[in-house]
Amino acid sequence: MDTEKTKSELALYGGPLAVTLAGHDRWQRIPVEAAKRRIGELLDEEIITIANGGGVIGEFERAFREMIGTKFALCMNSGTATLHSAYVAAGVKPGTEVLLPSYTWHATVTPVLHCSAMPVFCDIEPDTLVIDPADVERKVTRRTRAICVVHTWGNVVDMDPIMAIAETHGLTVIEDASHAHGASYKGRPVGGIGHIGCFSLQGQKAVTGGEAGVAVTNDPELLDRMILLGHFGRITNGEGKRTFDHLGDMGLGTKYRAHPFAIALALETLEMLPELNEGRTRCYAILNNALRDIEGIEVIDPREGTKRGGYLEFKFKVARNIAKRLNMDRLEEAFQAEGAPITRDRYSTTNFTYGLIHRSPLFTSFDRRTLGGCFYDPVSYQGPPVAPPSLPVTEDVCTRLFGCYAFVDVAEEFLLQMAEAMRKVMTSLDQLS
């Protein structure tokens, strides 16, 4: 028997596994006992809702705004709610446009429709997977009202040119930092650089309440407008500028208040964020460095002067020439057969929740005029078909991205075995062909 040939044979075809160690650690840290105690205290006091921003809600808002370095923080029931509130606060309305990436979670985009405005999709940078400021500048028009940048997978947007564009054209900058808890740009925490920062606290996020969100800002009027939209009970309690006292506590009727139980959990996970980010940064660096010299794999490094945080997932790219000649599903199967928990980023004709949103039927073939409410701008939207914009980098990158858990505390040897599994597959592509 040819031992060397046996060693190099892909596990997919009967060869030995490259990954022999267990490495599926608890990539999300849930402080169960501490959360139980805190929620139990609320139940003992029969506190099951908080309308005035006090108690555990106020405690979390204080801690979060101190971490980000802003004057205000506002808890909500989801990251989607924070984005909708931010667009409303920024004056996004019929006849206006919001510049944003297509490579993001769909909830970055769809709240723009709730404002009867138009999302304008911008391309991304191939090395960081985040919005390209040069394409943002190209797409500013007299209708542009806001720019929403997304710190995708904890990778930080180049904020200086974004803020310069906004200042030149009088635009509001909204940071979707849902993946980037604890990340920073030139020493400044993300979320506090633009005019409004939006954070999801959903179950898979670094800081989590299960389902919750928090928005931050330094502008008291923007805070007032966000409160007005969805926070009955907080308009007249002395926050912000109290711009809307004349409306009393009626507000605009949207219910975006956070549940105190969710924020109790979020407060406990917030305390663990430095430890979690330290673990994820360590694991990411080990795996990234081990992949760096494998032919056919392109790693994603942090932008110079930035510090990643949150992460959500680890990502890498397969080289373009390989993606063109190989079935990516087969490549995924080969990675997994070696024992490496690697999955391919998928985009199909039915699932546009993440990435390539500009090609979704919602923006190309579905007639939004058939919906009730205010889901289209009657000035600019004339109905389908709508040709998707040309976003060559986004469309290229989305076909060749792979990822895995953002590990927190696994053995270095396991991560090196994962890299060896990928090396083994990438040097045996002829077997897959």
Active site residues: 205
Residue/partner pairs of 27-35 with CB below 8 Å, 24 or more apart: 27/405, 27/406, 27/407, 27/408, 28/203, 28/204, 28/208, 29/269, 29/272, 29/275, 29/276, 29/408, 30/208, 30/265, 30/269, 31/268, 31/269, 31/271, 31/272, 34/268, 35/264, 35/265, 35/268
In the chain, what is the straight-line distance between the N-terminal and C-terminal CA atoms, in Å? 24
* Cα→Cα distances 404→308, 344, 383, Å: 17, 9, 39
Q: How far apart are CA 418 and CA 70, in angstroms?
A: 40
Q: What are phi and psi of 19, to 5 degrees?
A: -105, 115
Which residues, at least 6 apart from 339, have a Cβ–Cβ distance to it below 8 Å?
11, 17, 18, 19, 20, 417, 421
* Cα angle: 369, vertex 375, 380; to 5 degrees: 70
Report whether 55 contacts 43 (CB < 8 A).
no
